[in-house]
Structure 1
Amino acid sequence: MTVLDVDALRARFPSLDPAGPGGGWALFDAPGGTQTPREVGEAVAAVLTGPLSNRGAASPSQQRAEQVVGGFRAAAADLLDADPRGVVHGRSATALTYDFSRALSRTWRPGEEVVLSRLDHDANVRPWVQAAERAGAVVRWLDLDAATGELVLEGPDGLEGLLSERTRLVAVTGASNLLGTRPPLHRIADAAHAVGALVWVDGVHATAHGLPSLRTSGADFWVCSPYKFLGPHCGVLAADPALLEGLHPDKLVPSTDAVPERFELGTLPYEQLAGVTAAVDVLAGLAPASSSASSSAAQPGSRRERLAASAAAAEAHEDRLRHRIEGGLAELAARGAVVVHSRAADRTPTLYFSTPGRDAAQVSAALAERRVLAPAGWFYAEEPYRALQRAGALDGPGIRVGTAPYTSDDDVDRLLEALRSAL
């Protein structure tokens, strides 16, 4: 496997320049949003300052808009292993979830059911709860085992016990933004499809830490946020175009009813789309493609294959750093200084821990004094945070640290040194 050249990668991020205004910081806030490479900023600026009009074919400015939209759909489809005709741009993943919750719930009837999880960010909870309330549908819950950080899938209150012919939708995260837990999507999707339910996956955190596949994950909808993987602030949804054809959102009369445009309200932000395409290309160039990364879904040398090779290199790098951080946290835990809550067998390089006897915000501030950014809070993950509280595992917010492909060993050294000093 190719080893990620972290020094070369970091040189592509102006915000990581030690001589720059934001330089000199060890950043562990990647779960909340990554830094942006130069290529993405240049792509955004080039579209904004070049010839640009509404989409069409008569002029270079119109043609440029068409090219940008087509490039965005192709890039997102390569990243998510989807059909470009099923790629939808949105203001954010939250906005997309709200939009689609309204469209999907129009067909729900009183007494039908929606299954949600206690592992999820509130963006994959509240839109469905509110849609169910309007439709008279019943919300059922997959619980979280606070001791393991895993969803409870076995037993009468587990997955099979919750699903029935009344279930219309199962909404679940691809990976928890708080604990890093990756639930078994295949198992959940297979069980949901067996009773005729659709599966909505919040892939915001998962997409940043592994190459997703709409085709093989079992998801009917996959939503993500490019700013979590080096891109601009917006949302992207992927689904089968045939599935999208059956959904009818509120829209303006003169606007097109074609899929996927019927879901994209108003003129598209072409500069954002160009930024997403550039971010995908940066991800595809993190490591050269190798024959071991090829698959039936990608021809040799395709962007999808290059994304697979790069994702493998990035995952190996971030997992190695995670093990280093976990080792340092284990030393602090042995002294009673921290309690680590990220314990799932399959998880991303995101760790959530509490600091018994110390206010987490104060500890985070002490780290910031050493130019180490590790925020405190519960990060909109209302359900898992409350589940940990109910289990007595937390008495207040904790600290979340997460890595990105550009995170270095020096960053980890600084984090562990700062934690030892603060605690």
Structure 2
Amino acid sequence: MELNLERIKKAQENIKEVVRKTPLFHTSTFSKQCGCNLYLKCENKQKTGAFKLRGAYNKVASLTEEEKSKGVIASSAGNHAQGVAYAATAFGVKSTIVMPLTAPQAKVQATKGYGAEVIQSGQVYDECYAKAVEVQKETGATFLHPFNDLDVMAGQGTIGLEILEELPDVDVIVVPIGGGGLISGIATAAKSIKPSIRVVGVQPEIVASTKASLEKGEVVTLPGAKSLADGISVSTPGDVCFEYIKKYVDEVVTISEDEIAYGMFSLMERNKLIAEGAGASPIAALLAGKIEGVKGKNVVALVSGGNVDIATVSKIIERELVLLNRRVRFTVELQDKAGTLGLLVSEIGKVGGNVVTVRQNNNWNEKGLDYADVFLEITVQSAEHGQQVIKELQEKGYSIEVHK
């Protein structure tokens, strides 16, 4: 048995009544920034919010009746969990999912909502995988691996078929890598149809296990690390996947946590797309200039999923606004009398600033009880606009200390 184009086309037939053909659209903003004709393949718009449904559904569809009768068990950081839960329920099969204690609650609750029993154990994927193996031995359930399985890989490979069907002139496909099942399937499909396509994988630099394995020529295990891209925080790539990665993947690049956060922020602001860390990794790598040879090319960046906690989204927006100097924090000295603070807020509004936080220091400053220090946080349109706001306030006589 092997992964090939015929097997991937069969998977496409198996899943066609359930899985959405997700949007592929051109983004002029990112095309200009990255110097290529950039398209986004939006698997964050897939049922369950991520590509994993494809592989999970194809796997469950391929099980024998005896295997289904025993129920299924899986380990997952979240997206495979939801895919398995959805697929198992669709076939009337009992499912148990082991998820890390650190899994986003959005993913945990969604998995339960699709009908699975959830057990949380361990901090990273590899630890919850060990727990799932333990539970499988106790119950005899059929284990569904999230990536190191030919049927799962074939299901994920249907994304490659869809990309080629809609954009035959694609030159480069950029894909996140965790365990390797997604990129194995896509690369096998794409290269089988059009061998000249470049397939580039992206990993967090703090747990770049596939890149390290390729450099050594064999599967290696790295220390577990929790990346913002939790869906691809995998210490050991699948050995089955690795053979197809060696054969079909042209390059693997790594990105920092800051670059992942900026990728998520950019997709939200520029394309109105919510992407989890793994899903934003391809665009993050392109925006950071990590992928060479894309100038003037037709490039597809896979937005693999959008299952991220709203609290995390809020933190990322807050952080990026500060880093981009679009959220300005400063202290201003005011006379402690009625109307002075209201006048300051009015002046800020006149120059286009939006006040989000005001906090007055009740302790008098060095000038005594007649003056107070007031901390303000404002949002502005750009770093340049922020500088202009501060400058105009200073010209009006306000004594200001800007905080980094």
- TM-score by length of structure 2 reads 0.32
Higher fraction of strand? 2
Bigger radius of gyration, 1 or 2? 2
- Greater relative CO (CA pairs within 8 A, separation 6+): 1
